[in-house]
Amino acid sequence: MTTAPAAADTILRHLADLGRGADAYDLIVTGDLGQVGTRLLLELCKKQGVELANHVDCGNEMFTPDQNVQAGASGCGCSAVTLNGWLLGRMAQGKLDRILFAATGALLSPLTALQGESVPGISHAVALERC
């Protein structure tokens, strides 16, 4: 299961709603898609005509490729650590002015799992700007 389709939908809708291109942001950040989900996100956005050259993924920032966490780890953990440490720190230093942060996760339900249903992915975005 990957939350890449949810992240792509959220990012693309945000950009369309505000009439912005991806380059309006210093970084477009996802929660924890990992290597697999990141490739899928970039492919989905490219199919819609949006290149995310400024994309980073919290999970990919926390783990190195040799750690073999191809599909990511904990979205909420990676998001919290990366946003509150590295990203907001860079904003406070004046190194970043505008970030689109699209947290990703799964809507887990014991009933859904017991019924053998798929786990829906979800993504919420917030735009952060340095004043």
119-128 pLDDT tens trace = 778 899 999 9
- 4 within 8 A of 75, measured Cβ to Cβ: no
Q: Which CATH architecture has domain 4-129?
A: 3-Layer(aba) Sandwich (3.40)
Domain ranges of the chain: 4-129
pTM above 0.75, yes or no: yes
Please enumerate in sequence order all residues whose Cβ is within 8 A of that of 130, keeping only pairs 6 or more positions apart, or say none.
91, 92, 94, 96, 97, 98
User: What backbone torsions phi and psi does residue 79 show, to the nearest 5 degrees?
Assistant: -65, -50
Kindly give the parts of the chain with pLDDT less than 50. none
Short-list 70, 88, 71, 73, CA closest to 29: 88
